[in-house]
Structure 1
Amino acid sequence: MSSVVRLLHAPQLADAPDAYAATAPADARLVFLAGACPLEDDGTATAPGDDAARAARCVETVEQALQAAGATLMDVISTRVLVASSAQRELVTAR
């Protein structure tokens, strides 16, 4: 699967597994998604207490919204993960 997103690794910065920046062509169409909540299609909460399952459901929701816009996860430039907890392990699991 190809993408127009270009990941940029800055050689003068510490070696990291993730890119430090990303770009898209100037003529790229932007798609803004609403927040993804761990909800099933019927509105019930996904797997209460299972952080990994809840995060996976959020990704599924994002994939479906992107598909409706004619895009895929390969087209995503930036994400933000918010976890309503002070437990670092829950954030790590969600990421």
Structure 2
Amino acid sequence: MYKQFVICDIIFSYSEITPKSKYPRYINDLKIDNFITPKRARKNLIFVKKQHNSALKKIKNVKLQNQRLKNKIKSYDQLIKTLEQKTLVSENATNFLKVIIV
């Protein structure tokens, strides 16, 4: 991973960064080598922040969708109850509709 060479009793080391590790696609692809220089560190920190924000957006959207679907089920239940109270639907049909919703 790190190559070292000696020039005048000074040890220089550098890492071999492959294109795959230079441009990571996922946060798990990041390694210590990606944060060696300030420029790389800044670039990869921005990458991590973008990934984190996009994950938060996805979580938020799924929660909103889940809440909307729960509200939809509640409205269907209320509709079935009102139809049953007005005797527009038989008891068997009501049970069938409740099974379909759940």
* TMscore range, shorter length: under 0.3
Q: TM-score, normalised by structure 2?
A: 0.22
Which structure ranks higher in relative contact order (CA pairs < 8 Å, sequence separation ≥ 6)?
Answer: 1
Larger radius of gyration between Structure 1 and Structure 2: 2
Please state which structure has a larger fraction of its residues in helix: 2
